[in-house]
């Protein structure tokens, strides 16, 4: 039985990866930060099966800022594979906490690599480092001849998050070359799901769309509607992570869909899933979205009602306007084939969030706090 250690297991990617590895017969160990409130919602369903014989799952309290803690956990677990998904991954927030994001996302990666080396596990343990499309910075001149970012495109990070992740990328590559470690980077472009945190733009949009349709919210405030992102489903992307560590040779891979979509169009797609057409007028901070039509009798929205506005507080000090990745290497070498397209992703997120908003409304009506 293979043993896997996942940092960031309580996050979107960590929860999907844990499910995948358990299905493949792994013993899965996860690292979670200590908090005064429960933060295991995404993996609670795994907890519920802990007493079943086929479940092999254990959690450890830990923090990527604590070297001795990381060494102790790795020594105790003796993993065959480490998936370092733990990070402060909100780009906008990284401008407010640049030192913290450097410590966790940059030096945290070094702590894992050095722990494996100190414990003489270089030949036993394979390491996956969660890298990011934010490394590229959206510069047009850095794209390849197909107009996409690939494994050879130059980096130009435009945020403290991207800068910290670039250290994680290069230190992983350095340890691979210096010590012969099977250490890899997965340069993942944006990947979403119903488990995405509600402060990330896609989930913010689908949650607000559901709330507006059900009369629980008046308006959704967003930042840069002209930003374009290459969005896929987190379920597909964690499969790529696993495939990367099953290769004979450690290499770095871009994981992406190869298509890019405006934030504005993601909004339109989300509302369309509940039968509401949105029309945008204006430019820049004056741009607004209005209800153009509503074909679903379950939702009574007035035609012409404003439901989208731009709020400058959500702008980043330095914007990345366009990201689109080239998945050629991952598809050819890994045999990776995504099961979801963007429409399927949006449909799943909207269905889940409509149910969530309805449940919250029922709980409030029954006198419960949501």
Out of 69-78, 258-267, 355-364, pick the least confident. Answer: 355-364
Question: Which residues are part of the catalytic machinery?
Answer: 132, 134, 161
pLDDT at 53 over 60: no
The yes or no reply on domain 201-225+263-321+341-365 and CATH 3.90.25.10 is yes
pLDDT at 209 over 80: yes
Cα three-residue angle 335-341-346, rounded to 5 degrees? 145
pLDDT tens readout for residues 342-357: 999 999 999 999 999 9
Q: What is the pTM of this model?
A: 0.93
pLDDT at 322 over 70: yes
Identify the bridge partners of residue 185 per DSSP, sorted by sequence position. 129
**Per-residue pLDDT at 363:** 82
How large a percentage of the chain has pLDDT more than 70? 96
pLDDT at 55 over 80: no
pLDDT band at residue 251 using 50, 70 and 90 as cut-offs: very high
pLDDT band at residue 361 using 50, 70 and 90 as cut-offs: confident
Distance CA 26, CA 106 (A): 28
Of 64, 9, 5, 19, nearest to 39 (Cα)?
9
| CATH architecture of the domain with residue range 3-188 | 3-Layer(aba) Sandwich (3.40)
Backbone φ and ψ of 272, nearest 5°: -65, -30
**Strands (DSSP E) along 143-270, which ranges?**
182-188, 191-192, 220-222, 228-229, 232-233, 253-255, 261-262
User: Structural domain boundaries of the chain?
Assistant: 3-188, 201-225+263-321+341-365
pLDDT band at residue 90 using 50, 70 and 90 as cut-offs: confident
**Per-residue pLDDT at 288:** 97
Q: Which two tokens stand for residue 319?
A: 């914007």
Distance CA 60, CA 69 (A): 10
Distance CA 241, CA 11 (A): 15
Question: Average pLDDT in the 125-145 region?
Answer: 93
- Supply the mean pLDDT for the chain: 93
pLDDT tens readout for residues 284-312: 999 999 999 999 888 888 999 999 999 99
Out of 35-39, 180-184, 247-251, 252-256, pick the least confident. Answer: 35-39
How large a percentage of the chain has pLDDT more than 90? 83
pLDDT tens readout for residues 221-239: 999 999 999 999 999 999 9
CB 84 within 8 A of CB 112: yes
């Amino acid at each position: 039985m293979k043993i896997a250690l996942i940092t960031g297991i309580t996050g979107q990617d960590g929860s999907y990866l844990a499910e995948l590895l358990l299905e493949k017969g792994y013993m899965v160990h996860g690292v979670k930060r200590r908090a005064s409130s429960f933060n295991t919602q995404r993996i609670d369903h795994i907890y519920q099966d802990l007493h079943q014989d086929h479940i092999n799952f254990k959690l450890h309290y830990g923090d990527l800022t604590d070297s001795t803690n990381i060494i102790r956990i790795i020594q105790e677990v003796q993993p065959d594979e480490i998936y370092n998904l733990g990070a402060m991954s909100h780009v906008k927030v990284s401008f407010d906490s640049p030192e913290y994001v450097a410590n966790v996302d940059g030096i945290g990666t070094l702590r894992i690599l050095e722990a494996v080396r100190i414990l003489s596990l270089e030949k036993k343990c394979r390491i996956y480092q969660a890298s990011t499309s934010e490394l590229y910075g959206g510069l047009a001149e850095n794209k390849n001849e197909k107009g996409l970012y690939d494994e050879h495109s130059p980096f130009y990070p435009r945020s403290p998050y991207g800068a910290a992740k670039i250290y994680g990328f290069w230190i992983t590559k350095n340890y691979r070359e210096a010590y012969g470690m099977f250490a890899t980077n997965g340069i993942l472009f944006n990947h979403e799901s119903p488990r995405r945190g509600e402060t990330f733009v896609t989930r913010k949009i689908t949650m607000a769309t559901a709330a507006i349709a059900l009369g629980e919210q008046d308006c959704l405030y967003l930042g840069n509607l002209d930003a374009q992102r290459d969005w896929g489903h987190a379920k597909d992307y964690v499969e790529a992570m696993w495939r990367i560590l099953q290769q004979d040779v450690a290499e770095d891979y871009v994981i992406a869909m190869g298509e890019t979509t405006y934030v504005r169009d993601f909004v339109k797609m989300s509302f369309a899933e509940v039968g509401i057409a949105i029309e945008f007028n204006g430019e820049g901070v004056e741009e607004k979205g209005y209800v153009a039509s509503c074909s679903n009798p379950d939702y009574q929205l007035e035609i012409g009602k404003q439901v989208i506005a731009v709020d400058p507080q959500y702008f980043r000090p330095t914007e990345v306007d366009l990201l689109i990745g080239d998945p050629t290497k991952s598809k050819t070498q890994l045999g990776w084939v995504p099961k979801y397209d963007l429409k399927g992703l949006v449909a799943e997120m909207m269905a889940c969030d409509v149910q969530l908003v309805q449940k919250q409304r029922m709980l409030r009506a029954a006198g419960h706090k949501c």
